[in-house]
Structures are given as C-alpha cells and as structure tokens.
C-alpha cells in the first residue's frame, strides 16, 4: 500500500517536530496521531517547513522521483498554505498519470473520453456564447444552470463530484449556478443491489450470510461515490451501516483527473489572471480530496480521529467503526438511530429542547473548527441526527478537512481584526491563508471588506447571518483575484449548511448569539498562550483598554459554561444521564491569570498599557476593576490560583532576568 503514497520532501519525524512547535496541545492533535500511524506504517509525507514555507528537501526529492516542475510546485504551494504535512497523501499528478497509462488500450480510452468531454462541454459552451450574442444570457440562466447539472450527471461520478465542489466555489462560478449545483449533493441515482452485495463479499472474502444476519433490501442513501445499506451483525446482533463504493469507479476517476489536469494546463493563463493561481492548482486540490474520499480506509481513520476528539464530550455521538469488516471499497460502522434534523416536530416529541440542541450543535461545530482543526466537510441534513438522549450525531466522514494550528491562529487573528475594525490587517490575513497570492496589492480590497463587515455586523446579532455575509463575499471574490482554498471552501459550506439546518429547526435562530459565548470562553480559558495574545489584542483598541469588552467576554463565557454544564438539549432535568455528565461547571481562569501575571512582570509594553488602563483620563479605574472581580469571584478559587501563581513565580523571575539581561546587552 505504501507504493501509492505521494512523494516525500520530509519524513514523519519532521512532522512530529513541526506540530509540536505549532501547538502546545500537540498530544491532542489529529495530525500528530496520524503522523504516529504513518511512522508505524513507514509512510513519509510531503510538506513545507514551519518558518519559511520552503520544502525541506524539495530539490532532492524532485531529482529522486523525477517529478515535473509544474506539478511539484502546485503541490508544494498547497502544503505551504496548509502549514502541515499530509502523511497519507493519495494524490499527485505522477501517480494519476502512471495509473492511467499502465493499462492496455489506455491511449484509445483517453482519446474517446476526451472527445466525449470536449464535445459535450464544447456544445454547452457554444450555447452560452450564442445566448450572449443574442442578448438573452441573463433570462435563460435558470435553464442553463439546470442543463449544466444534468450534463454533469451524464458525464459520470467525477463530474458529479466536480459539480458538488463548484457549488461551494464562488471564486469560480456565479451564485445562481451554484444554487442549482447544490442539488447534486442530495439527488444521485443508486446502482443495483446485486452489484453492491458482490463488492461487499469480495472485500469481506466470505458470503454476506456469514457476517450479517440480515441486510436491507434497498439503499438507505446514495451519493456520487457510493451508497449505504443497513444490516445486522450475525455475531453480536448489532445494527450497522454498510457503505459500499460504486463499481469500477477508480479507473474512471483516475482517467478523468488526468484529463482535467491536461485541460487545466491550457487554462493557466486565464486562471492566473482571474484567480491569482494556475488552474492546475485547483485541479490538484480537487484531486486530493476526491482520491481521499475514494479510499474508505482513510474514512475509517477519520472516524477514529473524531471519536478521539469527542471522547470526553457527552453531547456528541460519533459512530464506532468496524475495521475488521472494512476495506478500501467497503466501510462498516455503527448504525445511528436518530432523528433527522429536518424534522423539528419529531425532535420536540422525543423530549428534546430545540434551542438546547442547536446550542450543542453550534458548540460541536466550533470545537471542530477552532479547537481540533479537523472538521466535518459535508454536514448536510442527511449527515446530522438528534439522538433521543439529546446528543448530536454525525455520520459520513469521507469529506473532512484539516486546519493547522497556524491556520487556526490566523482565523482567530481575522476575527480579532474584525472586532477591532482593522480591515487592512484583515486583508493581509487573506494572503496568509492563501486566498490571495503573496505580493498581491490588498489596497483595493480593504474598502470592500470594510463595507461587507460594517453592513453585516452593524445590524447587530439579531440580523446577522453567514448567508448574507457570504453572498456579499461571493461578489468580492468574483471581482478580485481571490481563490478560495479547498479547505476553506469546506469551512464556508460547513458553516452555511449548519446555519441552514438551524434555520430549518428554528427560523428566528441567531447563530452568533450561540457562537459568541463559546468564542469568549475559548479566549479566556484556552491553555494555548497564542490565544491569550489575541485576548490582549481584543482588550486594547487604539491603545485604550476596553473595560466593557472584558466584562462582556466574561458574561458570555459564564453563559456558555452554565449552558454546557449539563446537556441543554434534554428537557427533563436531574435524570441519571444528566448526573453522569462530567463537564466543567466554572470558568477555569487559572492559566489566564498566571499568564497575565507573567506578562505584567516580564513584558514592559503590556505593563505600561495596563498601568495606563488603570489611570486613563487622569483617574484610577478602581470601580471597573471591582466590577470585573465581582463577575469572576464566584468562578475562581482564589487560594488555589494564588498557589499556582506562586509556583510559577521562579519562571517569571527567570524570564524577567533574561529580558533585563537582553535589554542591557542590546543597549551595550
């Protein structure tokens, strides 16, 4: 299996060191766990170095493996933007080319498929040109959008998947076409049971009857790459879901990816002009995700990682995976007997509080995005369920994305810059995240960002929603050379989809009213020192300390802790399941106070700012300080915090002496 992995420009130990540098919580990192697995399997990975973003042994790797400059540059750029290694890379243009050309008659097959694709797409394009020439291009948009969706279905699974991706890429396709292509995410025909059952038996190496006592006569769900059945394990009587891949799909996918990239090489000039990147890069992003979804062993790993991340969260249910019955084409996992989120009445009848359920759903989504860096990329209504015990359940982990610690911190930077209305830095954040090419002049984008944010946030939490913001953002990316990296298109889709589910269950739901308390708690209590650096940025604006903002953060954080101290989705309180919950009941501000004390003594700039904050306008702000203390006095154990600060005192003294000696040496 090692032979199908991509080229190496750094070994797994490099990844271990880099993730440790990135994250003080590296022991909980999904990338670290995957790297350890990779090391056991002797798998290496391609990556950029932490500081400069240059592949550590890129030139040697290229010489050894004979990679072409174009393909290697595109993949290196993806790694640089991510800031992490990909230990289980399934895709490179060379792998695709070798897979396609190794079979007999491959040239003829490519030519015939190429003619089919070019003919159908060319005919569609000529219709668009004709519409434009006769001046009816706008009035026939609904028809042409529907025609494009049907065309992609006719061209097969690769194009269906491409249509699903385009449904979330406003930088490539206009919004009315995106809305039509969204239908592809739910409306895909299934293939015959007999073929599916034969594939299952081939992967199991034994008859169905030997493993399952019964199996559903029809599919439970069908998607572009596979379909799902319900079955019962003969040995244990447990109900399971069997996900089985479409027959003969792998060679079709490889062939189409080869043709996609060949076509992209002719469109590089246009793509660089419109998006600031070459078209091959977009195909490489698409190819990576597609081949990952095609291997169900990777989805099994995703399931294990989600189980590990949420193992201590009593509000989230992740299905167990049965790896002994799973392979590259078949995945067997625990059956989730829940209520679809599109049926709020059934949820209420089950004794679940809708507001509470939405609260834990938003909290789970934000934990995936900002805490774990591994998030569900396709949380549509068919993949999210309400369990009768109040938990939220996720299924289908083929489409997930990883955000490095670096990317998470830049996202938080962007939020801080938005709060402080620093739009120039927001524009620079776009470059750091890969939306803009390095060196791009961000000056024209700054006023557009300011208009979008002020128009959306100025209405307040009651009217704010992600769809209105992304609608305006779509216009921005259509008018400027902005490319949305694949992982962030998944972030956008994930947030939009989950907000849509919230609106279905409760039309007047306020997403940010639930999200803000979680973010406030993270800023105040997260053990990552980098987050508390962002907290300092939030609390100071134009050199002035924002007392009211600090009070609001504490109030919101306390609200989040109070809500999540028990499962808020359960209407019946004081049940045994509620008593069994082991969750935090108070804000743990110990690390924050310790860091604050250290910063006060060690950082002269912070010390000066805090002293100025207490003496603004030529008066002592004792009243504000007392108000803040009253907000947290019931949340902290003063003696315990004092002991922790005292234990940390030698470190503070050491840092103070080092800082003083450095200043003396620099002055000398």
Among 80-84, 460-464, 538-542, the range scoring the smallest mean pLDDT is 460-464
- pLDDT at position 486, please? 77
Q: What is the distance between the alpha carbons of residues 514 and 22, in angstroms, rounded to a whole number?
A: 29
Token pair, residue 249, equals 């799909």
The residues that bridge with 545 in the sheet, in sequence order, are 540
Q: What is the distance between the alpha carbons of residues 439 and 585, in angstroms, rounded to a whole number?
A: 48
Contact status, residue 75 vs residue 47, Cβ threshold 8 Å: no
**Cβ atoms within 10 Å, residue 563:** 18
Q: What is the distance between the alpha carbons of residues 391 and 389, in angstroms, rounded to a whole number?
A: 6
Among 113-117, 160-164, 354-358, 640-644, the range scoring the smallest mean pLDDT is 640-644
Burial category of 64 from C-beta neighbours within 10 Å (exposed 0-12, middle 13-18, buried 19 and up): exposed
Which letter does DSSP use for residue 246 in this model? P
Q: What is the distance between the alpha carbons of residues 36 and 258, in angstroms, rounded to a whole number?
A: 32
The residues that bridge with 214 in the sheet, in sequence order, are 232
Task: Kindly calculate the radius of gyration of the chain based on its CA atoms and give it in whole angstroms.
Answer: 27
Q: What is the pTM of this model?
A: 0.74
pLDDT for residue 659 is more than 80: no
Distances (CA, A) of 552 to 129, 521, 547: 55, 11, 9
pLDDT for residue 541 is more than 90: no
Q: Report the C-alpha dihedral over residues 21, 23, 27, 30, rounded to 10 degrees.
A: -110
- pLDDT at position 51, please? 35
- pLDDT at position 329, please? 94
Token pair, residue 19, equals 């993730």
Q: For 186-246+294-334, which CATH superfamily applies? A: Phosphorylase Kinase; domain 1 (3.30.200.20)
- pLDDT at position 232, please? 96
- pLDDT at position 60, please? 31
Using DSSP, state whether 332 is helix, strand or coil: strand
The region that residue 403 occupies, defined by phi over 0 for left and psi between -120 and 50 for alpha, beta otherwise, is: beta
The pLDDT-based confidence of 598 (bands split at 50, 70, 90) is low
Taking every pair of C-alpha atoms in the chain, what is the biggest distance, in angstroms? 85
Among 209-213, 361-365, 372-376, 402-406, the range scoring the smallest mean pLDDT is 402-406
Among 35-49, 65-79, 466-480, 649-663, the range scoring the smallest mean pLDDT is 35-49
Contact status, residue 87 vs residue 7, Cβ threshold 8 Å: no
Token pair, residue 388, equals 């009768």
384 CB-side CA count, 13 A: 29
Token pair, residue 295, equals 């291997």
- List Cβ neighbours of 636 (8 Å cut-off, separation of 6 or more): 586, 587, 589, 590, 593
Among 346-355, 471-480, 484-493, the range scoring the smallest mean pLDDT is 471-480
The pLDDT-based confidence of 229 (bands split at 50, 70, 90) is very high
Contact status, residue 558 vs residue 518, Cβ threshold 8 Å: no
Mean of pLDDT over the chain: 76
Q: What is the distance between the alpha carbons of residues 513 and 501, in angstroms, rounded to a whole number?
A: 16
Q: What is the distance between the alpha carbons of residues 328 and 468, in angstroms, rounded to a whole number?
A: 40
Q: How, if at all, do strands 374-376 and 330-334 pair?
A: unpaired
Q: What is the distance between the alpha carbons of residues 166 and 442, in angstroms, rounded to a whole number?
A: 26
Quickly list DSSP for 193-262.
Answer: HHHHHHHHHHHHTS-HHHHEEEE-SS-SEE-SSEEEEEEEETTT--EEEEEEEPTTHHHHHHHHHHHHHH
Average pLDDT of the residues in 356-369: 89
Average pLDDT of the residues in 5-15: 33
- pLDDT at position 22, please? 33
Which of these is catalytic: 378, 422, 591, 595? Answer: 378
Token pair, residue 234, equals 């003969």
Q: What is the distance between the alpha carbons of residues 225 and 244, in angstroms, rounded to a whole number?
A: 9
Quickly list DSSP for 150-189.
Answer: HHHHHH-HHHHHHHHHHTT-TTTS-HHHHHHHGGGGT---
Long-range (24+ apart) CB contacts under 8 A made by 192-199 are 193/217, 193/218, 193/219, 195/247, 196/227, 196/229, 196/244, 199/244, 199/245, 199/247, 199/329, 199/330
Q: What is the distance between the alpha carbons of residues 486 and 492, in angstroms, rounded to a whole number?
A: 10
pLDDT for residue 46 is more than 50: no
- List Cβ neighbours of 600 (8 Å cut-off, separation of 6 or more): 606, 607, 610
pLDDT for residue 2 is more than 80: no
- Domain limits of the chain? 95-185+252-284, 186-246+294-334, 339-572, 587-662
Using DSSP, state whether 20 is helix, strand or coil: helix
**Cβ atoms within 10 Å, residue 329:** 21
Contact status, residue 226 vs residue 246, Cβ threshold 8 Å: yes
Token pair, residue 16, equals 């271990």
- pLDDT at position 24, please? 37
**Residue 634 is among the residues annotated as catalytic for this protein:** no
Single out the residue of 377, 119, 95, 107 nearest to residue 261, CA to CA. 95
Which letter does DSSP use for residue 375 in this model? E
Distances (CA, A) of 330 to 217, 235, 291, 293, 355: 17, 19, 15, 12, 37
């Amino acid at each position: 299996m090692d032979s199908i992995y991509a080229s190496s420009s750094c070994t797994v130990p490099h990844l271990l060191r880099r993730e440790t540098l990135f994250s003080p919580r590296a022991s909980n990192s999904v990338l670290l766990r995957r790297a350890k697995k990779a090391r056991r399997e002797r798998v290496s990975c391609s990556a950029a170095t932490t500081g400069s973003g240059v592949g550590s042994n890129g030139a040697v790797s290229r010489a050894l493996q004979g990679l072409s400059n174009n393909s290697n540059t595109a993949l290196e750029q993806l790694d640089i933007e991510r800031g992490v290694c990909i230990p289980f890379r399934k895709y490179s243009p060379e792998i695709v080319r070798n897979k396609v050309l190794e079979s007999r008659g491959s040239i003829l097959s490519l030519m015939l498929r190429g003619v089919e694709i070019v003919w159908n797409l060319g005919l569609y394009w000529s219709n668009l040109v004709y519409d434009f020439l006769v001046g009816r291009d706008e009035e026939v948009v609904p028809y042409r959008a529907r025609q494009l969706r049907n065309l992609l279905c006719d061209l097969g699974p690769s194009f269906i998947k491409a249509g699903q991706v385009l449904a979330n890429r406003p930088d490539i396709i206009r919004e009315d076409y995106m809305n039509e292509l969204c239908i592809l995410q739910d409306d895909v025909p299934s293939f015959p049971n007999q073929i599916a059952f034969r594939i299952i038996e081939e992967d199991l190496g034994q008859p169905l009857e030997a493993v399952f006592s019964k199996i559903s006569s029809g599919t439970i769900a069908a998607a572009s790459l596979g379909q799902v059945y319900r079955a019962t394990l003969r040995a244990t009587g447990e109900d399971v879901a069997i996900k089985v891949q479409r027959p003969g799909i792998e060679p079709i996918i490889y062939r189409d990816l080869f043709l996609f990239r060949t076509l992209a090489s002719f469109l590089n000039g246009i793509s660089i002009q419109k998006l600031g990147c070459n078209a091959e890069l977009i195909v490489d992003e698409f190819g990576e995700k597609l081949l990952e979804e095609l291997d169900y062993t990777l989805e099994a790993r995703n399931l294990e990682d989600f189980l590990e991340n949420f193992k201590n969260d009593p509000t989230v249910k992740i299905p167990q995976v049965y790896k002994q019955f799973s392979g590259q084409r078949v995945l067997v996992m625990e059956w989730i007997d829940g209520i679809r989120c599109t049926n709020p009445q059934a949820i209420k009848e089950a004794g679940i509080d809708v507001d509470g359920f939405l609260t834990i759903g938003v909290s789970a989504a934000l934990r995936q995005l900002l805490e774990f860096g591994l998030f569900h990329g396709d949380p549509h209504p068919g993949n999210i369920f309400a369990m009768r015990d109040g938990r939220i359940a996720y299924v289908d982990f083929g489409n997930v994305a990883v955000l490095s610690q670096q990317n998470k911190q830049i996202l938080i930077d962007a939020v801080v810059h938005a709060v402080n209305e620093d739009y120039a830095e927001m524009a620079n954040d776009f470059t750091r995240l890969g939306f803009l090419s390095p060196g791009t002049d961000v000056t024209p984008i700054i006023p557009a960002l300011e208009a979008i944010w002020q128009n959306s946030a100025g209405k307040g939490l009651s009217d704010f929603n992600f769809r209105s913001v992304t609608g305006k953002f779509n216009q921005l990316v259509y008018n400027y050379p902005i490319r949305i990296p694949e992982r962030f298109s998944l972030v956008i889709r994930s947030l939009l989809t989950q907000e849509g589910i919230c609106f279905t269950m409760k039309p007047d739901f306020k997403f940010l009213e639930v999200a803000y308390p979680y973010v406030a708690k993270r800023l105040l209590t997260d053990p990552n020192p980098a987050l508390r650096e962002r907290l300092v940025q939030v609390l100071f604006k134009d050199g002035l300390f924002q007392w009211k903002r600090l009070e609001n953060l504490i109030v919101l954080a306390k609200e989040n802790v109070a809500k999540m101290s028990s499962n808020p989705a359960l209407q019946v309180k004081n049940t045994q399941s509620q008593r069994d919950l082991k969750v935090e009941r108070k804000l743990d501000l110990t690390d924050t106070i310790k860091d604050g004390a250290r910063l006060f003594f060690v950082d002269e700039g912070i010390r000066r700012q805090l002293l100025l904050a207490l003496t603004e306008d030529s008066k002592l702000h004792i009243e504000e300080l007392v108000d803040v203390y009253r907000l947290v006095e019931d949340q902290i154990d003063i003696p315990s915090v004092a002991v922790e600060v005292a234990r940390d005192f030698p470190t503070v003294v050491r840092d103070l002496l080092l800082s003083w000696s450095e200043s003396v040496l620099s002055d000398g």
